[in-house]
Chains A and B, each alone.
Chain A
Amino acid sequence: MSISGLVVTLESDPQGAERAIRALRQDPRITLGDRAGERLAIVVETGSRFEDEEVYAALKSTPGVRFVDVAFVEFGSGEEGAGDADG
């Protein structure tokens, strides 16, 4: 399982941005979050790190998307905490 939080910067042209959002919405692996101007927060959930990178690459070439920034990546399924809390 791989989960990442991304910031998609959309084209300033509203039609282009709308087209990109429609495309993103169709992908079940993507959850759309809040939009601040041209920047849109999304979360991508995929089966593997490899697939995650695929989605990332696909996003970058989606019409209406100018760039994609990574804000958060989590992969692997190790146990939580793992003795880290007692420091």
Chain B
Amino acid sequence: MLTVDRRTFVKSAAMAAATAAAAGTARSFALPVLEGSGLRWEKAPCRFCGTGCHVMVATENGRVVAIQGDQKADVNKGLLCVKGYHVGAILYGEDRLTTPMLRRDGRLAPISWEEAIGIIADKIAENPKGFALYGSGQWTIGEGCIGNKFMKAGLGSNHIDGNPRLCMSSAVTGFLSTFGVDEPPGCYDDLDRCDVAIMWGNNMAEMHPVLFSRLVDRRTRGQKVTIIDLTTRRTRTSEFADHVLFFKPHGDLAIANGIAHLLIRNGTFDRAFVEQHCNFRQLGPASEDGSAPAMLGVPMTFDEYAKAVEPYTPEKVEELSGVPADKIRMLGEMFGRRDVRINSLWCMGMNQHTRGTAINCLVHGIHLLSGHIGTPGNAATSLTGQPSACGTVREVGTLCHLLPGGRVVTNAEHRREAEELWNVPEGRIGATPGYHTVEMFKRFNTPTAEGGDITTMWVQVTNPGQTLPNLHRNFRVKKDLADKFLIVSDVYPTATTELADLVLPSAMWVEKNGMYGNSERRTQQWFKMVEPPGEARDDAWQMIAVSRRLFDMGHEGMKGRDGRWIYHTTDKAGREVPIWEWDRYYDVNVDERMFEEYRPFTRLKHKDLAPYQEYVKARGLRWPVVQQTDGSWRETRWRFSGFDDPYVGKGKDYQFYHSVTKDDKALIWFRPHEFPPEMPDAEYPFWLCTGRVLEHWHTGTMTRRIPQLHRAMPKAYVEVHADDAARLGVRNGEVVTVKSRRGEIDLPVWIGGRGDPKPGEVFVPFFDEGRLINLVTLDEYDPYSRQPDYKKCAVAIVRKA
């Protein structure tokens, strides 16, 4: 925010008015009247989903008072969804956590920060290898950098993972398997250019509404956009779709293979593109110990590939997926055309899938096979659910097997580079991946004597007590285990703080400096605008303070090569700034320092980031952001495409320069249709799918405290098809028990409600902490991404006596 004197302000306004009038712009001109002139307006990305809308935040007297969509932002062009418009109210729920609290005799009681930091440091020092850090796709980039360094470079431990494991790790394995490098080649501009948008189990109207509007509003401008909704239940997205194709759970594998089959059989695949830019792959045989075959598979020839997809005739696909054969033919013919631009869009439907890696690879595969990739409008677009799942987790690498910038802990050269850039002694970083999310929580919820070797966990900016699958097994066992210690940093009481031993009150969103990275490779920055309430403090500071305490206790890991503290920070004059003291923390911009330390990591995989100050000026920039000869920084919209990506060799149309096969070619995978691990039977006759609703973001800890959103959607429900309801004899609104082999909860039945499942299927949203559907869900996961499948398990619907 620029502060200007009154005179400059008025002169600028006068010039704005005169310029607009002189230019005769249709907008007319703006004349400031006095209302609102006491406000301070600043930019920030929205706190909620992975779309990455920018909002303008108005503050007055130290409080947020209004929000507008940012008209300068490329992503949303001034528009927001109902959550974004109300995002300012997330700071003001009356039950904000404002003081650290320690559980004593079963109850949480206030303690000082000094004590709290000491307790954590002691717990870690006691058993460093038994300590795990569980982070988040809502961590800012700076927080991710600090957490990752704390664990991997400080403690020499890889037991750090994050909730994106539950959210988009199958998208990661899909990109890695196909392109050899993570994140989408395309961007949101593809929404403006495509002729056909295919929703792969993706209720975009509710989950990414601003992007959905970017698509459907083209129709009111006279453009033709065909929307194909591949779905298991009718949703608000279906209302806008030209074709609604219902498929059986897990049937997406068959549909993608069916499209490949038709492209080959009809001879309509893009032969030139495939010959120049693609190789074929399949999984090798399973290993003898029963573990899954290696993720990167074994080569296969085109002929072998063609033979593999041969059985997936439209009729066979109809049998497996439930989508009529003629509709499969329609899809196959559409992909076979060169004159339509096709954009596939997906989110949790494909990612929360025990064959998540497979379906991600298959969808990339049909786009590659048909050449529908890399030109504007032709794209396979993976959307993320959290604001910085990409920026903080995938890019900074806050997962148990990753190092920053696309490096992996198992690669000695990568470890050496990270040790060098982090300035820590060689050999500090462990070579074995740590525990992934489900494994981490399983071990924390297993008695230490029985192999539960994680004894202390620190959870930041996420709510695993509500989001983990099969909560009885993976979260709630801890309650009765005396030697387990759970630390939770959060802003409100949650299903996770309920079992916490130590609760730390955090600053949130515009109460701190931050950076996020959205679904289209866009890195965004904002500044702190208001003070956090009470004694709430930045998550980043909390980790820094613990690290400093360990350093002062003589912990070797918290020392760098030069013997100095790993977060050693100096001012302009070179004097050390004690950022571990809260009242000195904002003497420097720690966020900027961490970002600049992280930037050199991003070059290896050509995910170059610009200097921090460039992001201060911009409404986000899409990497690789490459400096031009005139000193300016240019973002990249289409990666691997010669016309836009500066890293593609001169004269080349496409170059998949991080190719698995090291020949600049992408991989087209064959993965068979397989049935899910648990299917309905006589005892549990219904498929259960879980998901989100427009009004609430994830576990609702923020949105349920916004009156406008809470009143519109006050509680969870179970959507049941009218035929099933009639058969069961349940009325609309009647409370029933939804029961699986793992747990049960009571929910009101909603027939013909927000969504409408097919007979034999039910849907329950997971936002309601009073009705935890994850007590019921299954914790089976994809063998490569380790992402659980929240979309399919078998349940029974039982009438209450």
Contacts and interface: CB of A to CB of B under 8 A. Distances in A.
Interface of A: 1, 3-7, 31, 33-36, 39-43, 45, 69, 71-72, 74, 80-82, 84-85, 87
A43 B15 contact: yes
Contact of A85 (B19, B21, B38): B38
19 contacts: A3-B7, A3-B14, A7-B21, A33-B15, A33-B22, A36-B23, A41-B19, A41-B21, A41-B23, A45-B11, A71-B21, A71-B22, A72-B14, A72-B17, A72-B31, A80-B37, A81-B37, A85-B35, A85-B39
B24 A5 contact: no
Query: Interface size for chain B: under 10, 10 to 19, 20 to 34, or 35 or more residues?
Result: 20 to 34
Contacts of B18: 5-7, 33, 41-43, 71-72
Contact of A71 (B29, B35, B36): B29
B6 interface: yes
Most buried by A among B6, B10, B23, B36: B10
Contact of B14 (A5, A81, A82, A85): A5
Given A33-B15, A41-B21, A74 B10 contact: yes
A27 to B, nearest CB: 15
Interface string B24-40: 10000101001111110
Given A80-B34, A85-B36, A72 B60 contact: no
Q: A-B pairs with the 10 shortest C-beta distances?
A: A5-B14, A5-B18, A41-B18, A72-B17, A39-B22, A71-B21, A41-B22, A41-B19, A81-B38, A71-B17
Nearest to A85: B38
Nearest to A45: B11
B125 interface: no
B11 A3 contact: yes
Given A5-B16, A5-B18, A81-B37, A43 B11 contact: yes
B13 interface: yes
Contacts of A5: 13-18, 21
A26 B746 CA distance: 80
A8 B349 CA distance: 60
Contacts of A87: 35
A45 to B, nearest CB: 6
Nearest to B60: A85
Contacts of A39: 21-24
Contacts of B38: 80-81, 85
Nearest to B17: A72
A84 B119 CA distance: 50
Contacts, number: 84
B22 A36 contact: yes
A55 B694 CA distance: 57
Interface of B: 6-7, 10-11, 13-24, 29, 31, 34-39, 60
B103 to A, nearest CB: 43
A1 B37 contact: no
A52 to B, nearest CB: 11
A33 B11 contact: no
B8 to A, nearest CB: 10
Most buried by A among B13, B18, B34, B35: B18
A75 to B, nearest CB: 10
A40 B22 contact: yes
A80 B35 CA distance: 9
Most buried by B among A7, A34, A45: A7
Contacts of B35: 84-85, 87
B1 to A, nearest CB: 16
Nearest to B23: A36
A74 B14 contact: yes
A71 B17 CA distance: 6
Contacts of B17: 5, 71-72
Contacts of A71: 14, 17-18, 20-22, 29
Contact of B15 (A1, A31, A69, A81): A31
B13 A34 contact: no
A36 B360 CA distance: 52
Contacts of B22: 7, 33-36, 39-41, 71
Nearest to B65: A85
Contacts of A35: 22
A45 B510 CA distance: 38
A34 B36 CA distance: 27
Most buried by A among B7, B21, B29: B21
A72 B23 contact: no
Most buried by B among A1, A3, A40: A3
A87 B11 CA distance: 26
Contacts of A42: 18
Given A7-B22, A71-B29, A82 B15 contact: no
A7 to B, nearest CB: 5
A41 B19 CA distance: 5
